[in-house]
Amino acid sequence: MVGCARTLRSAALLGVVCAGLTAALTACGGDPDEGTNGVGKLSAAQIENKTRKAAEKAGAVRLAGNVVSKGHTYRLDMRLKRDGAMGKVTEGGSTFTLLRVGKDLFLKADADFWARQQKGGKGASGPDGRAAGKLDGKYVKVPPGDPAYKQLSGFADMRVLMEGLLAMTGKRATGDRGEVGGVRTVRVQAGNGGGGIVDVSLSGTPYPLRVQRAGGAGTLELSDWNKEFALHAPAKKQIVDYGRRIAASTG
């Protein structure tokens, strides 16, 4: 009887060990989608569709990175929501602040920036430089009829930016798994990567977290999805009138 009991205990122990080994081996074999939102199991087209819809429904986002457009490279650090945006744009040696509240668009820059916009500007020491000095650090309201309004407002319009950034061309395919900002992602690429790449969150809502634009036209990271932020028009004493069209050199 003692021998039988020992045999039964040994068999039970062996069963527990085997069950543990089986579980360990299964985990090592890995289900890459365990603990995710499940979009990694979908086709590339389905993932792209879900991430587009997620971006369309979002109320706010922050994006940072480079955009190449018409031969210009812009460094963006913008916070956007449906009714406005705020942030900085750098192009060449110039950095300016953009603020959009509803349809009102404001631009703030230093004197050197404005001196370059003056027709035949002579720099900070000349007559145009003195005029530019009055604009230094002030907000200029960009008139809707100014050619610069359309150019600049594209950086401060969440809908327009999302449509442009998520546009891809070519055959879609899923790529590698990775991480962006510590969040697990799955990659969707078009045209073997040359037509655009989007890294999609595998956690929670499948938001796009990094976008590499087609043709090497820039890479941006997107974060703070749906994170609310305050947005107010500048005080009247902070606003000055430019008095002429803003030159096309703003890009």
User: Contact 196/210 with Cβ under 8 angstroms?
Assistant: no
206 in a structural domain: yes
189 in a structural domain: yes
Domain count of the fold of the chain: 1
Q: Is the pLDDT of residue 84 over 90?
A: yes
- The torsion angle over the Cα atoms of residues 16, 22, 28 and 30, rounded to 10 degrees, is -120
Report the C-alpha gap between 53 and 38 in whole angstroms: 16
- Confirm whether pTM is higher than 0.75: yes
pLDDT in tens, 127-185: 355 667 778 889 999 988 888 888 889 899 999 999 999 999 999 999 999 999 999 99
Q: How many residues does the chain have?
A: 251
Q: Across residues 25-37, what is the average pLDDT?
A: 68
Q: Which band of pLDDT confidence, cut at 50, 70 and 90, is reported for residue 114?
A: confident
Q: Is the pLDDT of residue 120 over 70?
A: no
Report the C-alpha gap between 212 and 222 in whole angstroms: 11
Closest among 251, 233, 247 to 153, alpha carbons compared: 251
Its domain, for residue 101, covers 39-250
Q: Across residues 233-244, what is the average pLDDT?
A: 83
15: exposed, middle or buried (Cβ count in 10 Å: 0-12, 13-18, 19+): exposed
pLDDT in tens, 174-227: 999 999 999 999 999 999 999 999 999 999 999 999 999 999 899 999 999 999
8 in a structural domain: no
pLDDT at residue 128 in the model:
53
9 in a structural domain: no
pLDDT at residue 82 in the model:
93
Looking at per-residue confidence, does 148 or 120 come out higher?
148
215 in a structural domain: yes
83 in a structural domain: yes
SS3 195: coil
Q: Across residues 113-135, what is the average pLDDT?
A: 59
Report the C-alpha gap between 120 and 74 in whole angstroms: 24
Arithmetic mean of pLDDT over the chain: 83
- Which range has the worst mean pLDDT, 55-59, 110-114, 221-225, 234-238? 110-114
Q: Is the pLDDT of residue 99 over 50?
A: yes
162 in a structural domain: yes
Q: Is the pLDDT of residue 10 over 60?
A: no
Looking at per-residue confidence, does 17 or 166 come out higher?
166
User: What is the CATH number for 110?
Assistant: 2.50.20.20
Q: Is the pLDDT of residue 8 over 60?
A: no
pLDDT at residue 243 in the model:
62
16 in a structural domain: no
Q: Is the pLDDT of residue 31 over 50?
A: yes
